[in-house]
Structure 1
Amino acid sequence: MRIRSPSLVELHAFLGVARHGNFHRAADELCVTQAAVSRAVARLEKHLGVQLLDRAASGVRLTPAGADLRRQVEGPVAALEAAAGQVRALPEALRLRLSVVPSLGNLWLMPRLEDFRHRHPEIDIEFRQYHHDEDFTRADVDLWVALKARAGKHWPRQVAAQYLIGREIVAVCAPALAQGIDGVDALLNLPLLYHSNYRDNWALWADSVGGQLPPHWRGTGFDLVMNLIEAARAGMGVAVVQRCMVQAELAAGRLVTPVPGSASTGRGYYLCRPRATAGSRAVEAFSLWVREQARRAGG
């Protein structure tokens, strides 16, 4: 029988470009050069005799033929990858490959991870790079701890996602600064610190505790949670931040909550896994452990 189907290398290259709309990012995902991806897609177009991509300076788009091919092959290729991963992983069932939001990994997960290693010394953990635009189709990750970027967001159908922690936000500051705060209004008139992606967290918190933000309020924004927390510790102002990120700071007395009360953002961090992939012993052990840690931490 004459084989008419293209190679998996070519299909992987095409699907990578289709997902990202970009040859460079597809190459990063596949761990090859951009030129290799371009050549593979060109071979695929020649093999099928159709143009699959419209290439322009503004980016890459699927042609109607490309969109049709993606619909037909994306599921089967993902199934082949999952099957290969399961077979390959049989002798390595005690290896766990994790991708974790860096801020939560550094501030919340890492200080607790020694407990998991103590309970499960037989399981080797490998951390893989976290992608903020993750589509959860990577074959090199078993579990993700991913951020739900906005309230009401729906996860892809192929993903089983379970909330862990991170919806609750609180206002924190250095102990010395807290001495002059005698209520919500006094707090809201101090320099306000915030995550630059979530400036509206201050409005959520103020509304939850019965306060009123000053009209046209200004503050200092930080694009990294660690920098936001460090600024609060240094006495630069009051920060509104997820409670899970500052639990160690609060317990040690390096930060305090000068006004009681919290608010829910409706976002938070979720444990994610592909629905179609059977969980290994390592996956199940870590899932059980991290959910326990989240419950203990108030998730």
Structure 2
Amino acid sequence: MRIHSPSLPELHAFATAARLGSFSQAAEELSVTQGAISRAIARLEEHLGIALFAREGRRSVLTRAGADYLQAVGPSMATIESATLAVRTRRSPRQLRLSVPPTLFSHWLIPRLPDFSARHPGIGLTFAPYRRDDALTAPDIDAWIRVGQADWPAGISADYLVGRELVPICRPADLQGPQAIRTPADLLARPLLFHTNYPDNWERWFAAAGCPHGPLQPAADFDQVSLLVQAVMAGLGVAVVQRALVEPELAVGRITVAVPHTVTLDRGYHLCVPVHRAPSPALGSLRAWLLAQAAG
């Protein structure tokens, strides 16, 4: 059977450069040369037949296809990393299997997993495929992270983690010049980008900001936060997103908060665990770590 997947060095170069927005920083983190990173990504792009990155000044940003590919392969890469660490530590790992939404996985959880591995090297993590309609009852899954409010199924204990803070985002350049965004009303003059699954986000944000408006029409809508971010960076308009899902992009200046007004939603990401299962020390350690990460 012909193998269609690329090599792990190529995938690691791609994922690290995507997270850091820089080939040189990726090279430093992976202890290789910048040329090695460039060549690995070039081989991957040739193998896939798509462009994964575009240049914006000195930064390398994911194309839409690159963001889609990262979201698809990220969970599998994390599983391989956890399994390899468990074998290398030569301990009997306490194995946990989790199900996590891809957007939260790639934008919030994966960058934090090295800290968990360092603090709990005896706990092995694997990740189940995400299913939106999951009943949270699969016996082979120890815990789920899901977005919701207080209407969890009977028998599920849920701890809030992140995701209730809603902020408007734009390009840093949109805060400069005579047409700069300064107030909530200024956002109404810009193309509004919507999230397909949460079309009321802009309505909620403007209402909480005390900004009157007429009917809100999307200039475009997207079903993933990563695509919203890419659209904002490309100059298609402004978007309103959960702050926890854009922390990496905010940290490196790819995007910025358009107006410093945060709206608190009644929904967010929760760690969900069936209450009838026997207590698990490994799961207790993961829960404590997740809550500490969320609080920090």
TM-score normalized with structure 1 length:
0.65
CA-based RMSD of the aligned residues comes to 1.6
Q: Deviations over 1:17-46 (max 9, x none)?
A: xxxxxxxxxxxxxxxxxxxxxxxxxxxxxx
Is contact 1:169–1:240 with CA below 8 Å preserved after alignment? yes
Distance 1:185 1:158, change over 3 A: same
The CA deviation at 1:118 is 0.7
Distance in 2 between the 1:221 and 1:174 partners? 18
Distance 1:216 1:169, change over 3 A: closer
Which residue of the partner structure matches residue 99 of structure 2?
99
After TM superposition, what 4+ stretches of structure 1 lie above 4 angstroms from structure 2?
Answer: none
The CA deviation at 1:216 is 4.6
Does 2:110 align with 1:113? Answer: no
Range with bigger deviation, 207-216 or 156-165: 207-216
The CA deviation at 1:223 is 0.7
1:177 to 174, 179, 190: 174
Q: Deviations over 1:134-182 (max 9, x none)?
A: 111101100111111xx5x511111111111101110001111232213
Which residue of the partner structure matches residue 293 of structure 2?
293
Which residue of the partner structure matches residue 247 of structure 1?
247
- Equivalent position amino acid for 1:132 in 2: R
Is contact 2:171–2:254 with CA below 8 Å preserved after alignment? yes
Distance in 2 between the 1:258 and 1:107 partners? 20
Which residue of the partner structure matches residue 281 of structure 2?
281
Which residue of the partner structure matches residue 157 of structure 1?
154
Distance in 2 between the 1:214 and 1:108 partners? 34
Which residue of the partner structure matches residue 138 of structure 1?
138
The CA deviation at 1:185 is 1.0
Distance in 1 between the 2:216 and 2:136 partners? 40
- Equivalent position amino acid for 2:168 in 1: A
Is contact 2:92–2:122 with CA below 8 Å preserved after alignment? no
Q: How does 1:33-52 map to 2 (within 5 A)?
A: none
Distance 1:228 1:164, change over 3 A: same
The CA deviation at 1:92 is 6.7
Which residue of the partner structure matches residue 210 of structure 2?
210
Distance in 2 between the 1:168 and 1:285 partners? 26
Q: Which runs of 5+ in 1 are unaligned?
A: 1-90
Q: Deviations over 1:234-285 (max 9, x none)?
A: 2211110000011121121111112110112211111011101123221111
Which residue of the partner structure matches residue 12 of structure 1?
none
Is contact 2:194–2:218 with CA below 8 Å preserved after alignment? no
Is contact 2:193–2:218 with CA below 8 Å preserved after alignment? no
Distance 1:216 1:268, change over 3 A: closer
Larger Rg over CA atoms: 1
Distance in 2 between the 1:249 and 1:102 partners? 17
Which residue of the partner structure matches residue 168 of structure 1?
165
- Residue 257 of structure 2 aligns to a residue in which SS? coil
- Residue 229 of structure 1 aligns to a residue in which SS? helix
